[in-house]
Structure formats: structure tokens, C-alpha cells
Amino acid sequence: MEAFIFDMDGTLFQTDRILKLALDDTFDRLRNLHLWDTVTPIEKYREIMGIPLPEVWQQLLPNHSLEVRDDANDYFHERLIHNIESGNGALYPNVEEVFLHLKKEGHNIYIASNGLTDYLSAIVAFYGLDRWVTETFSIQQISTLDKGELIGTIIRKYDIKNGAVIGDRLSDINAAKMNKLTAVGCRFDFAQEEELSQADFVIENLFEIIPLSPKLSSNQFKGTI
């Protein structure tokens, strides 16, 4: 039995579908408060997607106070959850089919994300992912905000001996390697080729996870499915 630990944003959930909506709402609010006077930094957000949220807002609002950043983050998450519950988001193709196959094969599925708990819960609830997912973990559970330590928490809690971390950014790849698991990079919306080059495998579609399962008995490989 292997463990499959999935990232959420840009891996299972097509965050880009609601990202601009929520970010525009947030920066419109900042404009109304006379705290922002230029365009919404959507491209900057896409570039840094995957880093812990305090770092996100430090980069998006480098000249603003911590109070302003925290307030913007809170409002941003309210808008994200509103858009999730309004059906404006979507899972990537084949998520449900892959999860169903992995569970039928006896594998355990987990989610480990840099997203906040309420945000992740909204996605899991809306799409019924808890039909297959054993537990969803948020970076909020780790004081260091380190993805590798978050994965380590899952490994210790569930006594995981073998498996893979599937994600689109370097934090996912590094977390896998830190914990001696297979690193599977997803060439999806937010992925960067330089980061993907460090993964053991790179996939174009989640359905490619299925033939990966028999290869997890050894981590001494690098390639593309």
C-alpha cells in the first residue's frame, strides 16, 4: 500500500478560475480605502503561487503594514470561499477518476496544502473529496510554514513507509525529497519548468498517476511518465 499526498492549488483544484475574481475584489477594496492606486497584481501572484501566504502578501504589498496585509488576506479568503461555494471553481480533469482508482487499489490519499484550513475545507466539502481523502492538512498546522515539515507530520501520524507527493511547485518537490518520497511534478497552470526539472516524474494529466503506482517500490529514478 502506497500513500499519495496531493497538493491542492494548481494540482487538484483549478485555482486560476477563482484567483483573479478574488484578487480583483481584494484590490478593489484596497483602492476604495485609498491603499492601492494601480492594477491588480495578478501576474505576480501567479508567479509566486505555492509559497506560504505571509510571504505572498509581503510580496504583493511590500510597502504596506502587517495589519493591512492581514486584512487583505482575510478578505481575499472570504472571496475565494464565496467563489468556491458559488461553483466558479473546478477540479482538474480526472481527479475523481484517479481518486476512485487509487482507493480501489487500496492506497491512501492525503492532501497537504499551503492553503488555509477554511479554504481547503470549502473545496473538500463542495466537491465531496472526503469520499476518498483520508485527511486534509493545512500549512496552518505547522508553525514554521514549511511544506516538508507538513508532509513529515502526515508520515508520522499514519506511519507511511512509501509513496509520492504530487504537486506543481518546488515546495512540493522539495517536501517529497526531504521525506524520502517520490516527487511527482504537475505541468499545470502555475508550474515552472526549472522547478519541474527537479521532480522524479513529470505528468501532463492527473490520469498519469495510475501507472505510477507500481514504480513506487524504489525511489532511485528520474524521468517522465
| Predicted pLDDT at 51 | 79
pLDDT for the residue numbered 216: 58
pLDDT of 158 above 70: yes
Mean pLDDT along residues 166-179: 96
Q: Output the pLDDT for position 14.
A: 96
What are the C-alpha distances in Å from 145 to residues 15, 115, 116, 169? Answer: 20, 11, 11, 15
Residue 160 has pLDDT above 90, yes or no: yes
Starting at the edge strand found earlier in the chain, the sheet holding 3-6 runs 133-138, 108-113, 3-6, 163-167, 182-186, 201-203
Long-range CB pairs of 202-207 (<8 Å, 24+ gap) are 203/166, 205/93, 205/94, 206/12, 206/92, 206/93, 206/94, 206/95, 206/98, 206/166, 207/93, 207/94, 207/97, 207/98
Q: Note the pLDDT tens digit of each residue in 39-92.
A: 999 999 988 887 777 789 999 999 999 999 999 999 999 999 999 999 999 999
Q: Where are the beta strands (DSSP E) in 146-204?
A: 163-167, 182-186, 201-203
Q: How far apart are CA 84 and CA 39, in angstroms?
A: 24
Q: What is the pTM of this model?
A: 0.90
Question: What average pLDDT is seen over the chain?
Answer: 92
The predicted model gives 27-41 an average pLDDT of 96
pLDDT confidence of residue 152 = 97
> What's the CA gap between 159 and 174, in Å, rounded?
20
Query: Given pLDDT bands bounded at 50, 70 and 90, which one contains residue 1?
Result: low
- Cell numbers for 219, please give them: 525511489
pLDDT of amino acid 2: 84
Averaged pLDDT for residues 23-51: 92
Residue-wise pLDDT tens digits, 175-224: 999 999 999 999 998 899 999 999 999 999 999 999 877 775 444 444 44
CA dihedral over 134, 127, 224, 166, signed as positive or negative: negative
The string of pLDDT tens digits covering residues 91-106 is: 999 999 999 999 999 9
Higher confidence at residue 50 or residue 137? 137
* β-pairing verdict for 108-113 and 3-6: parallel
Backbone angles phi, psi at 169, to 5 degrees: -125, 170
> If one looks up domain 3-14+91-217 in CATH, what number appears?
3.40.50.1000
